[in-house]
Amino acid sequence: MKKILILLPAVLFFLTSCGKNVSPETEEYFNGIKFYQAQKDSFMQFDSNSPFNQDPNAHFAPLKYYEPNESFKFQSKLYEYEPKDTIIILGTKGEERKVLKYGYVLFNYEGSEYKINVYQGVSRSGEEYHSIWFTDKTTGDETYGVGRYIDFELNPEKEFIYTIDFNLAYNPYCAYSAKYSCAIPTKEDYIDLAIKAGEKRFH
């Protein structure tokens, strides 16, 4: 715990010293992304539940990220599928998983519209979750070959406007350790765009 406390002031010094040529709102946003990344690194290095501390063959190194980019932050309603089909997806160890194709969100980038599915699943502990899984033009090159994820927190308000921030896109645990299996995005989850935001490949 002491190591984490020593790390954060240094990070905060770095954050407050950058962004001199941007608006206060943008600087605050960039600082928030950088702080989130620093907290995640601390978790990965020190927490007993991290994949690096669960697998003796996984060796920690600071995670790699693109610089924060507000052009990859979007807003959209959630358009629910009716009916909501249960589909089979594969895990990286070849196992089949049942998930609900819950809905989709839309975003516009440089004049083109893109659609991203939102899935509903159940974790091993029995908890329901919603998530976005995707691949893009960076996959297998600058970013993890299986794909990346974005957590999605469902809001009960039907007209709620969600923020979809690719700067928060992250690698599943199988990117760091062969002990884990993770959901493989389907062909439909490919985004024909180089999303240079969020986490890069670890190896």
Task: Find tokens 């702080």 and name the residue.
Answer: 35
Render each residue's pLDDT in the chain as its tens digit; 203 residues.
333 333 333 344 344 444 457 799 999 999 999 999 999 999 999 999 999 999 999 999 999 999 999 999 999 999 999 999 999 999 999 999 999 999 999 999 999 999 999 999 998 788 999 999 999 999 999 999 999 999 999 999 999 999 999 999 999 999 999 999 999 999 999 999 999 999 999 98
Task: Please report, as a single letter, which amino acid is at residue 155.
Answer: N
- CA distances from residue 176 to 36, 85, 182 in whole angstroms, order as listed: 19, 31, 11
What's the token pair of residue 123? 């974790």
Task: Find tokens 């959209």 and name the residue.
Answer: 76
What's the token pair of residue 132? 């976005």
Report the distance separating Cα 3 and Cα 159, nearest Å.
44
Nearest to 46 by CA among 100, 5, 91, 87: 5
Nearest to 94 by CA among 15, 5, 30, 174: 174
Kind plus residue range of the DSSP H or E element containing 104: strand 96-109
